[in-house]
Every structure is written in C-alpha cells, then in structure tokens.
Amino acid sequence: MTKNELVDQIFLKKSFLCVGLDTDLKLIPKFLLDFEDPIFEFNKKIIDATKDLCVAYKPNIAFYECLGSKGWDSLEKTVKYIPKDIFTIADAKRGDIGNTSKMYAQTFFETYNFDSVTIAPYMGKDSVAPFLEFKDKWAIILALTSNESSKDFQLMKEDGEFLYERVMKTSFEWGNDENIMFVTGATHPEKFQELRALAPSSFFLVPGIGAQGGDLDKVVQFGRNKEIGLLINSSRGIIYAGNDKNFAEKARESALELSNQMKKYF
Amino acid sequence: MTKNELVDQIFLKKSFLCVGLDTDLKLIPKFLLDFEDPIFEFNKKIIDATKDLCVAYKPNIAFYECLGSKGWDSLEKTVKYIPKDIFTIADAKRGDIGNTSKMYAQTFFETYNFDSVTIAPYMGKDSVAPFLEFKDKWAIILALTSNESSKDFQLMKEDGEFLYERVMKTSFEWGNDENIMFVTGATHPEKFQELRALAPSSFFLVPGIGAQGGDLDKVVQFGRNKEIGLLINSSRGIIYAGNDKNFAEKARESALELSNQMKKYF
C-alpha cells in the first residue's frame, strides 16, 4: 500500500485506528475452541466487527508463532481475510544481517503479503535496508517504544542526541516517509513534539494507548501532521473487551469509542 | 543445558564449534528436492556428519520461517534430531515487550525445546527478562555484532561507554553467566580483550569466521577464558562446502578443519 492510499483511507473513514490482533488461545471465548481453527475464527469475527472503524490490523507474530505451524496457517488465513484497502502490519520486530533480513522481508511481504513489518534497529542498516527494496512495502522501525524499559538503551545520549533520535535520523539515509514508519510509544506523550520535528512527514505507529496508559489527546495534539501521520494501536482493549458469545459486538463498541474520539481531529 | 554441561562437552570433544543451519532450498544439492522434506533431509545428513565435531547447532530461524508452516515443521524435526548433549540455539533475534517476549520464550523453549534464543536488546529489560525465567535455558543477547553496520548504533558512546558495553553491563542486573551469553562478532578481533574484561565468565557466541572474514586465532587469543567461553559459529562455510551427492562429507571436512584448528587451545 502506498502512503497516499493509506492517507486516503484515513480521511475517508475519519479514523487512524489500528487494531492489534494479539490473539491468544487462553484469552479468547471458550466456545471458539470447538472450531477447527479457533484463532482464525476469532480474528474473522473481530475483523468483520471492526473493519469499517479502523485503517490497519497488526497481528502480533509471537502469538501465532507460539502455536507452531498451525499458528502460521491461522496467520496466513487472517491476512488473506483482511480487506485489501486496510493496511497490514506484521508486528515481528525482526532485525538481522543483510542476507537474513532479506529472508524475513520475503517471508512477510511475499509469503504472507503484509504491507509492513516492525523492525528492531540494533544491527543498523543491514537490519532495515533489505525491507526497503520491496515496492509499496514498509519497514516500521522501533524508535522510542512504549514499554517501561525503553529507557534502558533508547535514552542513551551522545552529543546531545538520544539513541532513538539517531535511529530516526540515520534511517533517512536508507529510506524515506514512503517506505519507513517509526514506532513511538503513547507512554511518552511529552516527546511527541520533538519526535514530529525529527520526522515531519513520516507515519508513527503508536502503541500504548489503553492497557499501557497512554493518552490519545496528547499524542494527537503534539504528534499529528496534516496527513494525520499516526496509526494508533489498541490490542487487548478492543479484542478482549468481551469474553462471551457477544465478544465481537463488545470489540466493536470498544473500537467505536476510540474511532469516535478520533473524529474531532478531522 | 547448564553451563557445566556445555563446558564438559567442550573439553570432551576439544571443540567449541557451532554449526549454523542456514538451510536454504535454493542452495542445497538439487537431488534433495525429491525428498518429502528436503530441508530436514539436508539437516539430518549435516548433523550425522558433524555431530562429533561440534558442541552446538544454530538454526537461523529466518530460513525456516520463510517457508511458512512447512518450514516450522522442518525446524521442529531438526531440533528433535539433534543429540541431547549438543547445545541448540534458535537464532531468532527476538525482542519485544514483556508479555510478548514471554510468548517467544515459550515458543522456542517449550514448543521447540531449544536451549537458547538470540535476543535483540533494543527494548531493554522487557526483551530479555522473560527468557531468564526458564530453568537451564539461555538468552543470547546481541552485543557487538559481526555485520558491517553494527557500527551504526552499537558504537554510540555516552560517558566513555559504548552501547554494546552498556547492554552487557546492564544485562548482569537481570541475569548471570549461567543464563545469559552475548553475541560478539569475529569481525572485531581487536575488541575481544575488552569484551572479555566486561564479562569474564560469560560465553560468547561468535559469528563472522569464514564467509565474513573473522580470524579464529585472534578471537581465541583475546577472547577465551579458562572454560574456553566461546562458541565459534560457521554456517555457509560448512554446510555449503559441497553441493552434490557428497555434500555431507564435504561439510564434515570443513567442520574437521575448524575443529582441528581448535584442538591446540586445549
């Protein structure tokens, strides 16, 4: 998907919501366990219930991988089921040397046909560049993440520049706002003005709203640009809003609440 | 596997060789493609031909993942086939927030029964700590990697301390030399004295010998400790030494050459 197509969808739906598909056999409604593929069954119902309210879906790959080859089958079916006008993110946080990064890129972009993959930048250019060689595909690079221990290394500072700033600046030597996005956690709302100044026209994937405590209004106030430039992710807060036969309706209500909050920014 | 068990194997075999199973359908001998599971067939033959010469096998997960669920089946069969007294490394470079890291740990330690997983430390403690809760299992943390662009961020410096040094020092707040190892690339031989001083009793997983140009003698001279403390990885140099019916014999010759070089250090 191109940047223009994504922006069009955002303005059409008046939403920049991303629904995180952290689908866990232990947390989905029990009655689904009777289906042949409970994970896919759950995702299908969640997608049906939320697809008019969001512009992206983000399966967290760990939750599929832990089920072995069956989990990968559920993932494949899920990606195929997502409507083509909705942006797909493989939240995989891969990052390796060049020839291996290329394999990962092929996996997610070709085998599974995702639009984007999240990338850990620790190994530098080799971890990212192979992902940028695929047309209309995206690398979403971890910059300042939402978790508590993001401070352990991301706030290391040299010459007045934090590691996450260096990651963002350096990445523009490899790609641009049409093939790179950044992960910037909603748990650092005070940083969004500075993050936006570092990458004025880039999209930010923003986890940390909801369960992790981030504040939507502050993130939008300081982080938006004229194309919005934000994908706000919510996973558990939406998909586990209900835990019974009505789970999909509950998920819709929760997604609707967030997407309604977003309408005022258009 | 415990540290003592690993050290015993090293002194028993007089080898600290790790064979990297970067098994690629495009690179294995053509005749194997007639087998039902060419990847496993290749690995099985490589393992049979090298298991007395090495103390560890390291499947590079990207190469299995790119084949979809079939690849994960090949991986599972491969890990089961590796003799129990040989250390197994899932070269996956995972790293995520706590609940997701826990899923990855379960995947590799329980579903696939690996002894260890490689971890990218960018997200801090959350990326590592969940892996340390499994008895006799290991997190192998990326410190100073072997690739050219390791310098992009790993050499960032604050208060005289490089990022890779901070990663190593900080990780001792989470674990110890019985559940954490570090990835230290053979392409930085001049750094090994300093790396060893930072972690005197830790094991280092050392890629970069062979195809990437690292020098075994220098790494051992500066990097070894009294338990050896090194796992020297070679992937392509061993497994693709031959490309015909005799590929396993060629792989053995190549592994033998490296393991013979190692004998003088005992």
Contact A153 B122 (CB under 8 A): yes
Q: Could you tell me the pLDDT band of residue B138, with boundaries at 50, 70 and 90?
A: very high
Comparing CB atoms, the residue among B66, B111, B124 nearest residue A153 is: B124
Mean pLDDT score, B4-20: 98
Which residue in chain B is spatially nearest to A156 when comparing CA positions?
Answer: B158
pLDDT in tens, A188-205: 889 999 999 999 999 999
Contact A122 B124 (CB under 8 A): no
Task: Name the average pLDDT for chain B.
Answer: 96
Contact B153 A166 (CB under 8 A): yes
**Residue B214 predicted with pLDDT over 90:** no
How do B161-162 and B157-158 pair as beta strands?
antiparallel
**Given 3-state DSSP classes, what are the helix, strand and coil percentages for chain B, each rounded to the nearest 5?**
45, 20, 35
Comparing CB atoms, the residue among B76, B101, B122 nearest residue A68 is: B76
Amino acid (one-letter) located at B177: D
Mean pLDDT score, A32-44: 98
Question: What is the Cα–Cα distance from B78 to B20, expressed in whole angstroms?
Answer: 12
Q: State the smallest CA–CA distance between residue B74 and chain A in angstroms.
A: 10
Q: Which positions ≥6 away from B61 have C-beta within 8 Å?
A: B75, B90, B91, B92
Q: Could you tell me the pLDDT band of residue A210, with boundaries at 50, 70 and 90?
A: confident
Strands (E), A34-144: 56-59, 87-94, 116-119, 138-144
Comparing CB atoms, the residue among B98, B111, B156 nearest residue A156 is: B156
pLDDT above 90 as % of chain A: 94
Q: Please name which of A108, A85, A92 lies closest in space to residue A205, comparing C-alpha atoms.
A: A92
pLDDT in tens, A40-68: 999 999 999 999 999 999 999 999 999 98
- Tokens standing for residue B196: 């060893």
Q: What is the pLDDT of residue B208?
A: 87
Q: Helix (H, G, I), strand (E, B), or coil: what is residue A134?
A: coil
On chain B, the residues whose CB falls within 8 A of the CB of A72 are 68-69, 72
Comparing CB atoms, the residue among B93, B111, B158 nearest residue A96 is: B93
Q: State the smallest CA–CA distance between residue A122 and chain B in angstroms.
A: 6
Q: Which positions ≥6 away from B88 have C-beta within 8 Å?
A: B56, B57, B58, B59, B79, B82, B113, B114, B115, B116
Which residue in chain A is spatially nearest to B160 when comparing CA positions?
Answer: A158
On chain A, the residues whose CB falls within 8 A of the CB of B151 are 124
Question: What is the Cα–Cα distance from B170 to B199, expressed in whole angstroms?
Answer: 11
Show the domains of chain B with their CATH numbers. 3-263 (3.20.20.70)
Contact A153 B167 (CB under 8 A): yes
Contact B153 A127 (CB under 8 A): no
pLDDT above 90 as % of chain B: 94
Phi, psi dihedral angles at A181 (to 5 degrees):
-120, 170
Q: Could you tell me the pLDDT band of residue B213, with boundaries at 50, 70 and 90?
A: confident
pLDDT in tens, A121-173: 999 999 999 999 999 999 999 999 999 999 999 999 999 999 999 999 999 99
On chain A, the residues whose CB falls within 8 A of the CB of B147 are 97-98, 123-124, 126
Contact A145 B153 (CB under 8 A): no
Q: State the smallest CA–CA distance between residue B204 and chain A in angstroms.
A: 17
Q: Could you tell me the pLDDT band of residue B211, with boundaries at 50, 70 and 90?
A: low
How do A161-162 and A157-158 pair as beta strands?
antiparallel
On chain B, the residues whose CB falls within 8 A of the CB of A183 are none
pTM (2 d.p.): 0.97
DSSP B237: H
User: From the candidates B14, B44, B77, B93, which is the catalytic residue?
Assistant: B93
Question: What is the Cα–Cα distance from B2 to A206, expressed in whole angstroms?
Answer: 40
Q: Could you tell me the pLDDT band of residue A211, with boundaries at 50, 70 and 90?
A: low
Phi, psi dihedral angles at A209 (to 5 degrees):
-75, 145
pLDDT in tens, B48-91: 999 999 999 999 999 999 998 899 999 999 999 999 999 999 99
On chain A, the residues whose CB falls within 8 A of the CB of B165 are none
